[in-house]
Amino acid sequence: MSAPAIAEVADPVVAGPAAEPSPAPRSRLHRPMPSSGLRGWIGPLLVTLLAGLIRLPHLGRPDAIVFDETYYAKDALALLRFGSERQVIEGADEVILARDAPWRDLDIFTDAPAFVVHPPLGKWVIATGEWAFGMTPFGWRFAVAVVGTLSVLMTARIIRRLTRSDLVGTVAGLLVALDGLHIVMSRTALLDITLMAFVLAAFGLLLLDRDAVRRAADRRADTPVHGAGPRLGWRPWRIAAGVALGLACGVKWSGLWYVAAFGLLTVAWDVQLRRSLGVARPFRAVARRDVLPAFASIVPVALAVYVATWSGWLLTDGGYDRDWAATNPGGLPFLPDALRSLVAYHQAAWRFHVGLESAHAYQSSAWSWPFMARPTSFAFEREGLGCGPDCRSAVLAVGNPVLWWAGLLALGHSAWRAVAGRDWRSAALLVGYLAGWVPWLVFHQRTIFTFYAIVLVPFLAGMVAMSLGRLPGGQDASPTRRRVGLLAAGAVLLAVVAAAWYLMPIWTGGELLQQQWRLRMWLPTWV
């Protein structure tokens, strides 16, 4: 892995004093991609194929309703049939697993609406698999597995664009493809992998926006800059990012943290751009020219998209508290009754979220997530297995330890690069990582789980891939440094592959003898 893969694309946008500015040369604003056509797709497609081969086979294993699938698989079916969630009968799990009826006729619901505390979009994703393949473990996991597999392709292409390196992008995709937390969440009908995919899409769309405005600025490189500098014009990629962020919030409310973080990130990039164009007071210029358009492109767009994800609840009559406004006049009179009822529903859901403190055997502090100290056990069976009474089958949502523990070093390296080296790429990945982690540190008393960290995986993989790309040194590095650096980077990747191969049975519900299972419990807190 060659250092120029990253070193040659250092972006001087952040360099140079604000005093006595001068117009930047064309190449300083926008760097070309490292390749075009099929060449830039070969590596990402290969690691995506690998990801699919891991995530899609034996998707119906375990043949059971795993962890919170007991909520989301049923809610998804209710959305398909009624447009909103319904309460289920006692013994619904047994009826589902008996498979005596197609999903259209499955009689597991009462007429009473269900109070649910997560928006519906992630459940609609699950519902597409149930619609196509039935109310079976394979059916309710299929669409999530497809989203997880495609997110590997997204990671590889996005990190490639970020670093202008085919190799670094492919390595980042490979790291996601071989991460255990990502594998488990791709093979389980929960909401978090879909949240991660929309957050990642928003990040990629903002990168496209960044490139587009810099290309436009390059075309005006010879034009004198006056005052606040040029207007940056129509920015459809940033509006698309607002759509993606609204969809993320439509899966889980934690997408809100990315609305704020990515909104600030795109404004910071505009400050960098105006400084590089020679604007004497770039912060003041951005405040005048760019802050309001950035806000309008992201916040109202995300809000409108978020409300649209509730269409099933809004357009049908059976949702929980759907007619609340009819019996509660007053308050927000400018809103239609349906939206007033939706606001009241959200207030009730918020009270539930902030008050959730019930103990759980696998809850974990957010401080422990980067260490993968207390992963979540999704399934554990020891009866009726094929390898005898000493047999175990487990699904443990633990990240690839080599990736996550190497990621601790990559986090420090990225922070140093962002601050000391003024590297905007490292800073961008840090924003993506911290926005999904730091807010949970505040909710230390709430019942939370390590698998919430799935949204960090693409950003972590990007930082590790970039750090590996730096190991051989720069273009002027000695042959010894380059050789040792390449061997070290290769050793880390080989260790990731070896750990993935060894731990695959506990990620996919494979059958192991008890001693084999215990050998894979690398930390006592994993049990």
| Tens-place pLDDT, residues 147-203 | 999 999 999 999 999 999 999 999 999 999 999 999 999 999 999 999 999 999 999
Q: Distance (Å, rounded) from C-alpha 447 to C-alpha 333?
A: 36
Q: Distance (Å, rounded) from C-alpha 457 to C-alpha 196?
A: 9
pLDDT tens for each residue of 404-461: 999 999 999 999 999 999 999 999 999 999 999 999 998 777 789 999 999 999 999 9
Q: Distance (Å, rounded) from C-alpha 257 to C-alpha 249?
A: 9
Instruction: Give me the helices (H) in 135-187, please.
Output: 137-163, 166-177, 180-186
Instruction: Return the closest-CA partner of residue 319 out of 99, 63, 170, 116.
Output: 116
Tokens 């119906």 belong to 60
Domain ranges of the chain: 363-527
Residues 6+ apart with CB under 8 A from 503: 180, 398, 400, 401, 520
Contact between residue 43 and residue 167 where contact means Cβ atoms under 8 Å apart: yes
Stretch 262-276: mean pLDDT: 94
Instruction: Return the closest-CA partner of residue 144 out of 68, 31, 219.
Output: 68
Q: Amino acid letter at 271?
A: V
Instruction: Return the closest-CA partner of residue 129 out of 110, 148, 144, 114.
Output: 144
Q: How confident is the model at residue 357 (pLDDT cuts 50, 70, 90)?
A: low
Task: Enter the pTM of the model.
Answer: 0.92
For residue 37, the tally of other CB atoms under 10 A from its CB is: 7
| pLDDT surpasses 70 at 22 | no
Residues 6+ apart with CB under 8 A from 337: 323, 325, 326
